[in-house]
Amino acid sequence: MNKILQISEIGNPILRQKSVAIGNISDRQLDETIADLMATCEAANGVGIAAPQVAASVRLFIVASRPSPRYPHAPTMAPTAMINPEIVARSGELVAGWEGCLSVPGTRGLVLRDRAIEVTYFNRSGEFVRQELTDFVARIFQHELDHLDGILFPDRIPNLTDLITEAEYLKIAFDN
């Protein structure tokens, strides 16, 4: 039975720690953690969640883009666990997009991210994966990777006039 885990919020020191790499990728406990993370992400209408958000300071996150009340225009993909993820190349083309975070409830901010990135990680089966991610999924990856380094999206907002409430954001999202 998967557990819905409690999500730490901004101000909790664990969100500011640098997470450690996972040494034993075939650990059975890891599979359980991944299942709990996926269940917690889905229950919270998230499109991604990182292990430090649920008090495990290890280099693991879930990318799970799908349309939801929080992100009505998100593309659909199978929820994917990414272990010891890294960015190995960046397009250098920066695009602005609205981000929110389950650890920063009720707010959105306009954040610049690389439009395309080449990434590596180990998947849930322990296989090494190298792939190119673009647009919204690339944005999720960059946001979640920041969590592993103790960075939250408000740190990345160049202009704080671009920090708004979720209610105001949804007006923008549904107008387009």
> 77: which residues sit within 8 A by CB, 6+ positions away?
63, 64, 65, 66, 137
Question: Using an 8 Å Cβ cutoff, are 82 and 121 in contact?
Answer: yes
Helix (H) or strand (E) holding 143, with range, is helix 135-148
CB of 165 to Zn ion, least distance (A): 17
CB of 121 to Zn ion, least distance (A): 17
CB of 50 to Zn ion, least distance (A): 7
Torsion angle, CA of 119/120/121/125, rounded to 10 degrees?
A: 110
Cβ neighbours around 84 below 10 Å, total: 18
What is the per-residue binding string for Zn ion in 61-100, x denoting contact by CB under 5 A? ----------------------------------------
Number of residues that bind Zn ion (CB under 5 A): 1
Q: Which is nearer to Zn ion, 67 or 105 (CB)?
A: 105
C-alpha to C-alpha distance for 141 and 117, rounded to whole angstroms? 9
Q: Which of residues 94-133 bind Zn ion (CB under 5 A)?
A: 101
62 backbone φψ class: left, alpha, beta (φ>0; ψ -120 to 50): beta
C-alpha to C-alpha distance for 80 and 71, rounded to whole angstroms? 18
Q: Which is nearer to Zn ion, 46 or 117 (CB)?
A: 46
Q: Which is nearer to Zn ion, 34 or 101 (CB)?
A: 101
Q: Which is nearer to Zn ion, 154 or 173 (CB)?
A: 154
Amino acid at residue number 144: E
Is residue 39 involved in binding Zn ion (CB under 5 A)? no
Active-site residues, by number, are 144
CB of 103 to Zn ion, least distance (A): 5
For the chain, first and last CA: distance in Å?
39
* Residues found near Zn ion in the complex (CB under 5 A): 101
